[in-house]
Structure formats: C-alpha cells, structure tokens
Structure 1
C-alpha cells in the first residue's frame, strides 16, 4: 500500500492495538531488566541491536538506508537525537517511579502532536486538525494524567523522588511528540519506514552507549547475566524496538499522525496492567482515574465527524 489514508481503517486499528499492548509491556520489561543491566547501557544496546536487524531487513528487501539517496540526513540526525534523549528520560525515570506511572505519563505525546500539526500547516500538505470534540477528549485525558502526577508530591508510592521520575516521563512525552513532528515536517515523511527507524535506532544507540561510558556505568559481564535478563533484552530488541517500531513508522506514513498519536493512549492501560500484574506495583485511585480519563479521551478523539 502506497496511498495515504484520511482515517483509520480496520487494518490500522488492529496494528495500533498490537503496538500499544507491546509498548505497555515494554515499560515493565525495561524496569525488570534494570536489576541486571544499567539504564543507559540497556537502552543503547537494544537500539543498536534493533538497528542491525533493520539493516538486514532492508538489505533483503532492497531498501537503501544511505541518507545520500533522498537527502534525509539532517532530519534523520535530529530525529535520532530526540529519540535518544526521549528513551534516556524513560529509563532514568523508571529508577524513581513505577512502570505503571511511566506508562501513563509518556503518552501525553498526542497533545504535543495535536498542538504542533496546525503550526506545520504551511509546510505539510493537509495538516491534520482536531475539531471541538477531539480537543475535549485530549483535555479530558490530560486532566486525568495531571491529577495522577500530583500524587507524586503528596502520596508517593515509589519513594520520595517519584515526582522526578514522573517529570522525566512527561519530558519523554514532549520529546516523542517533537520526534513525530520532525518526521512529518521533513523529507522523512516520504522516506521508507525502514530508513526513518534506522536513523533513530543507530543515532540513539551510539549516543546512549557513549552516555553510558561517559557516566561510568558498570557493565555486567555477559556470562553473569541471568536467563531472565537475556529474554527481557531479546523481547525489547526484537519484538518492541525492531518489529513494533517498524510497524509504527509504516502506520505513520500511511495514516493521519494526529489520529495515530491519539490512539496510542491505549498504551497506558496496557502498561498499567503490566505493572500491576507482572511487577506487583500499587494501583492507586488517582492512577486508575487517569487511565479512565485517557479511555474517554480516546473515544472522543476518534469519534467520526458529524455528517453534513
């Protein structure tokens, strides 16, 4: 499929739900892996590993990844840098807050996309705009998340620095939204999904590994890692960072970015369930209400326009 859709069809919805479930599980997997692999090394390793898989996939399909083929180098470098800082914030934040809370806060990214897309109207053809009902949905979700964030100051369940981990999650959301806008406003919008993903993985992998070395993280010996750590890293690298992100960028190329970004608000619910069921994290009323507000936002944002 090479045409661009104006709405989410059945295929897009199915792919989006699959991505959301995998991303929700990924927060729990990342936090569980911290017991064996330090944060920056963990993120850098999985990015570089997935970059190799994307390169092999592209070579098999005859897709050229060199920036010289379509002049996407500068945009790819910017997107990769934003990607690196975003995931650095996520993994560092997971040391101070729960995976459940992180899974909610990082999905404020749709607000950034919704606010930014109209500003790109002169540069991006047919920039997606939200109607009144869609804005109400986004505001409802934001209000619920903001109320849950305040819990980190009054009744922290993950330690006194929970607010700092929550703030890093919100920062990651801002960076994710900026990455989406960078892709849509540059030549990456018409580049193969594999090339866009390779830029982000290769650049972020190198930057995160360099940051790990610069900060003096203690690298564990491969033979000292538990089997659980290997399986968790394999899940993060192959299933999430390679397969699901490749699918996401394919969706970004063929469907409206605003609708897709709003649809990813399903992920907090998957992340909340994973954190509670797999990691035994507390389920607070505020966090539950935040997820409920997100669900309402999803319904409103994806409500079809009224027929004339």
Structure 2
C-alpha cells in the first residue's frame, strides 16, 4: 500500500514550489514557441519526447511499465483527459496571453476540492475551506469578465482563449480525481505519467494532422531551447514529481497549493514577454492567494 501523509511537510512544500515555478514558466515557453511551431504539434511532440524519457528513466531504475495491474482502462482515460487539457491550453494560447491562461488553468483545485470528498472521506472540506475555494472561484470569474470588456478590443477572441483555459482546468481536475479514484492510485508515478504522455502524444499528433498543421522542418536554437525546456524540465521532471506527490499527500491540499503558480506565470509573462498585467488580473490573483490561505490554514 502507498504510504499517505495527512499534511504537507517541508519536502512536499519544496517540491510544490519548484513545480509551480516551472509550470508558470512553462506557459510562457508555450506562448514564445508558437511563432515557430503550431499548437498541436508543439504539444504532441512535447508529450512524445517526455514519454520516451519516462520510459528510459523507468528502465534504468527497474520500474515496470508494462505489467498487468488492472490500470489499463483508467490509464487510457487519464491519457485522453491529459490530451484534451493540453489541447485546450495550446490552442487557447493563440487568443489570450500566457499571464491570463495560467490564472484560468488554476481553477482546477476548485474541481478537485469539490470532488475529493466523494472519493476519500478524510479529505472532506470544512466551511472555512469551502469559503476559500468560493473566493478563488469568484476571483477567476472576475478576471474572466475582462475578456468581454473594452480591454478586449485589441484581442477580440480573448474570451475564447480564456474559456479554453477554464475548460483545461476542469480537465486537469478530472484527471487528478480519476487517478485517486482508480487503480492508478496504487501505480507508480512513472507509470501514471507514462500513460498520460504516451496517449496524449498519439492523440495530439493525430489532431495536428487532422488540422493540417505544418510540421516545422527547420528548428532554430531558440525553438530547440523552448521545446527542450517544456519536454524535459516541465513534462518529465516536474510532472514526475507532481504524480509522486499525488500518491503520498492529500490531493485537496496539493491542488489548492498550486494556486501559487499564477504568481510565477504573471511575473514571467510580464518580464519575458512584456505582457500587460491589468488591475483586474492582480485583484483576481489576490483572491486566489487568500483562497490558498483559507484552504490550507
């Protein structure tokens, strides 16, 4: 049986902060690379390379990926959810900024917190925690409304990109709940991640072919760097750490803590891409931060 801890210790907090920083930078890398590679090819090839790295890592450490353990059906499901999530993120990034996308994606903890009590009674939420999650949800809704205002004139389809970010959040939350509710909760972090990366690589590359997206034949050093960061550091290293955390710590507390990621995303988007940070977006970020405090107090 997998050892579970009731609270986040120093190791969990350190790994979470590192993951959140990498995920915030990852959104910026996606946006920056879009000038040289189309959305579905970027996402599909990223998953494919990361899947090969997970396979090599598992072979080196002697971790079985192919043994029968009853997890195939749930593995295919989370792989499809993972593919849909990142399809929404990569496609939506064409219409909205990386700073906004990273805020909307982190509605996922709200989905996890609402669903986890039906899976694990020990993660039932108290009224204070529900208040915190409601505040976080309201903050995201407040930021989303900006896509329909005067600020959206320069980006008329910003609302579409924001909506796809919200859909990606629902899919991410659903993926976390599926992992905890099925045989994958007892599978290794490597096997759980391999399912998602391998299945999503096939589905997203197929989506690129159906969309008629051109596969870039010339890869500049800039594109290699951005793509390598996404595939190796974000999709391989940070996701492996995340699924290890999901197996050993309360999913609700983990998911709510990741709401700190938008801070890293906002800063990275402003510093590296020159994206505007509006007062409404800052207010939404403040609401998310208070929500984190209420859920984890």
Calculate the TM-score normalised by the size of structure 2: 0.97
Aligned residue in 2 for 1:245:
239
After TM superposition, give the deviation of residue 15 of structure 1 in Å.
0.4
Calculate the TM-score normalised by the size of structure 1: 0.94
Alpha-carbon contact 1:134-1:300 (below 8 Å) kept? yes
Matches of 2:69 and 2:106, distance apart in 1:
31
After TM superposition, give the deviation of residue 156 of structure 1 in Å.
1.5
Matches of 2:122 and 2:62, distance apart in 1:
31
Aligned residue in 2 for 1:138:
133
Aligned residue in 1 for 2:26:
26
Aligned residue in 1 for 2:156:
160
Task: Please list the CA deviations of residues 2-51 of structure 1 after superposition, one character each: whole Å capped at 9, or x if unmatched.
Answer: 52100101110010010000000000000000011100000000100000
Alpha-carbon contact 1:117-1:127 (below 8 Å) kept? no
Matches of 1:69 and 1:157, distance apart in 2:
54
SS of corresponding position for 2:107: helix
Matches of 1:238 and 1:179, distance apart in 2:
21
Say yes or no: does 1:118 pair with 2:117: yes
Matches of 2:2 and 2:170, distance apart in 1:
29
Any unmatched runs of 5+ in structure 2? Answer: none
Matches of 1:293 and 1:91, distance apart in 2:
26
Alpha-carbon contact 1:96-1:158 (below 8 Å) kept? no
Alpha-carbon contact 2:2-2:186 (below 8 Å) kept? no
Say yes or no: does 1:225 pair with 2:219: yes
Moved over 6 A (4+): none
Any unmatched runs of 5+ in structure 1? Answer: 304-308
Task: Please list the CA deviations of residues 172-206 of structure 1 after superposition, one character each: whole Å capped at 9, or x if unmatched.
Answer: 00000000010000000010000000000000001
1:76–1:157 distance in 2 versus 1, CA, 3 Å: farther
Aligned residue in 1 for 2:88:
89
Q: How does 1:37-56 map to 2 (within 5 A)?
A: 37-56=37-56
Q: How does 1:1-308 map to 2 (within 5 A)?
A: 3-66=3-66, 68-120=67-119, 124=120, 126-154=121-149, 155-156=151-152, 159-221=155-217, 224-303=218-297
1:189–1:157 distance in 2 versus 1, CA, 3 Å: farther
Aligned residue in 2 for 1:306:
none
After TM superposition, give the deviation of residue 283 of structure 1 in Å.
0.8
SS of corresponding position for 1:281: coil
SS of corresponding position for 1:156: helix
* TM-align CA RMSD: 1.2
1:78–1:16 distance in 2 versus 1, CA, 3 Å: same
